[in-house]
């Protein structure tokens, strides 16, 4: 089936959103200073702390995804409202410094998850479907680049491929047994895989907040960039999933890769 002109434009937009600059690049452009300054200010033990906070945040987000997300609300996504809410949590975090991350991040992550779910619904997804809910969680991995990634593992479809089996196993376990056994291997593997990727971008956020810029105002700005980043990834992800429901996954991936080749051949 040939792509319609409008669907091809949607896929082009999705690719631009999914292969866009990293959160670190966005923050660096915003602050006008290398984010490496912030990395140098983070205490050595913060890597472990951030990984722990990321796991806790995603575990809470899993509870929300499975137990409370539903098909309520309007067809459009309330992106601006969610940005305001996340900016507010960032302002609180900025006022109290890095020590507030353990409190602020779970709240911000939950708000972002609800924004991601809104975007999913606006692209035709049913939030009554468990697969859709876990696809919302998947956005936190798709929007992150782990330090251990090889160049061939950073593209959108490569990351989806890495996540696919783990998420499928978790979905099957939840469908059969719910969340009564949070320590079950299938759920632990999913949260660990998500957190390993999510913690990379959380570290970038923490590093930016470590730079003494504007205190509470700076935290609000950084959190706005933070949610903007994941909203863009969510929009791209659910556009691709919508097109896959029409044309099939293999056809969409081939067209997506063809767009990459076309754009690479264009003169700069």
* CA atoms within a 13 Å half-sphere pointing along the CA-CB vector of 96: 11
So what's the pLDDT on residue 95? 46
The two tokens of residue 249 are 């996954």
So what's the pLDDT on residue 230? 93
pLDDT tens across 61-84, in order?
A: 999 888 877 655 555 555 665 565
SS3 state of residue 131: helix
pTM of the model: 0.85
pLDDT tens across 129-174, in order?
A: 999 999 999 999 998 865 555 444 568 999 999 999 999 999 999 9
Q: Are 211 and 41 in contact (CB under 8 A)?
A: yes
d(CA 204, CA 153): 19
d(CA 196, CA 190): 10
d(CA 171, CA 166): 9
Is the pLDDT higher at 43 or at 258? 258
Split at pLDDT 50, 70, 90, the class of 17 is very high
- Distance set, CA 34 to CA 24, 30, 206, 221 (Å): 9, 10, 14, 16
Is the pLDDT higher at 234 or at 66? 234
pLDDT tens across 86-126, in order?
A: 555 655 555 445 667 788 888 889 888 988 999 999 999 99
So what's the pLDDT on residue 268? 42
């Amino acid at each position: 089936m040939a792509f319609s002109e409008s669907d091809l434009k949607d896929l082009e937009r999705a690719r631009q959103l999914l292969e866009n600059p990293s959160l670190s690049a966005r923050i660096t452009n915003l602050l006008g200073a290398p984010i490496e300054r912030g990395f140098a200010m983070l205490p050595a033990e913060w890597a472990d702390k951030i990984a722990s906070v990321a796991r806790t945040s995603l575990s809470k987000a899993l509870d929300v995804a499975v137990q409370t997300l539903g098909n309520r609300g309007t067809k459009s996504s309330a992106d601006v409202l969610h940005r305001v809410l996340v900016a507010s949590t960032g302002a609180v975090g900025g006022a109290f410094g890095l020590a507030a991350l353990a409190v602020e991040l779970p709240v911000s992550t939950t708000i972002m998850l609800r924004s991601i779910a809104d975007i999913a619904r606006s692209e035709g997804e049913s939030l009554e479907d468990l697969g859709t809910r876990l696809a919302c969680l998947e956005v936190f991995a798709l929007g992150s680049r782990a330090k251990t990634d090889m160049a061939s593992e950073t593209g959108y479809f490569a990351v989806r491929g890495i996540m696919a089996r783990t998420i499928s196993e978790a979905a099957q376990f939840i469908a059969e047994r719910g969340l009564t056994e949070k320590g079950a291997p299938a759920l632990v593997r999913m949260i660990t895989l998500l957190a390993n990727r999510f913690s990379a971008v959380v570290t970038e956020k923490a590093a930016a907040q470590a730079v003494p810029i504007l205190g509470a105002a700076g935290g609000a700005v950084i959190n706005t960039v933070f949610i903007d980043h994941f909203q863009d990834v969510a929009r791209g992800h659910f556009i691709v999933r919508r097109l896959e429901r029409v044309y099939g996954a293999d056809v969409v991936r081939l067209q997506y890769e063809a767009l990459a080749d076309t754009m690479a051949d264009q003169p700069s």
